[in-house]
Chains A and B, each alone.
Chain A
Amino acid sequence: MTSHHRIEIENCGTHFRCPENEGVLQAMERQGRRAIPVGCRNGGCGLCLVLVTAGDFKAGPMSRRHVPCGEPAGLALACRVYPQTDLRVRLATDEDRQWSKQQCPAGRDGR
Chain B
Amino acid sequence: MAISGVLRPGYVQVRVLDMKAALEHYRDRIGLDVVATGNDGRVFLKAYDEFDHHSVILREADEPGMDFLAFKVASEGELDVLHEKLLNAGVAVEEIPPGDMPAVGRRLTFIAPTGHRFELFATIGLDPTGPMVNNPELWHAEPRGMRALRFDHCLLYGDDIDGAKALFNDILGFSTTEQVVAPDGTVIATFLSCSTKAHDLALVRHDEKGKLHHISFLLESWNDIGHAADIMSRYEMSVDIGPTRHGITRGQTIYFFDPSGNRNEVFSGGYTFYPDHPVRTWSTDSVGKAIFYYERALNDRFMTVVT
Contact = CB atoms under 8 A, between A and B. Distances in A.
B257 A47 contact: no
Contact of B117 (A38, A41, A61, A109): A109
A61 B260 contact: yes
A102 to B, nearest CB: 14
Interface in A35-72: 38-45, 47, 61-65
A66 B204 CA distance: 22
A63 B63 contact: yes
Nearest to B66: A109
Given A45-B307, A63-B307, A40 B238 contact: yes
Contacts of B9: none
A106 interface: yes
A110 interface: yes
A104 interface: yes
B17 A62 contact: yes
Contacts of A38: 301
Interface in B32-79: 42, 59, 61-64, 67-68
Interface residues of B, number: 34
A106 B261 contact: no
Contacts of A40: 238, 240, 257, 261-263, 305, 307
A41 B239 CA distance: 9
B263 A64 contact: no
A110 B61 contact: yes
The number of chain A residues touching the other chain, given as a range, is: 20 to 34
B291 to A, nearest CB: 17
Interface in A92-111: 104, 106, 108-111
Contacts of A108: 61, 63
A28 to B, nearest CB: 14
A44 B307 contact: yes
A111 B68 contact: yes
B260 A41 contact: no
A79 to B, nearest CB: 8
B123 interface: no
Contact of B96 (A39, A45, A111): A111
Contacts of B209: 106
* Pairs of residues from A and B, 3 with the lowest C-beta to C-beta distance, nearest first: A44-B261, A40-B261, A61-B17
Interface of A: 38-45, 47, 61-65, 104, 106, 108-111
Given A40-B307, A41-B238, A42-B261, 17 more contacts: A40-B238, A40-B261, A42-B238, A42-B257, A42-B259, A44-B17, A45-B261, A45-B306, A45-B307, A61-B21, A63-B64, A63-B261, A63-B307, A65-B63, A106-B209, A108-B63, A109-B68
18 contacts: A39-B305, A40-B257, A41-B257, A41-B261, A42-B257, A42-B260, A44-B260, A45-B306, A61-B17, A63-B17, A63-B62, A64-B62, A65-B63, A106-B208, A106-B210, A109-B68, A110-B61, A111-B117
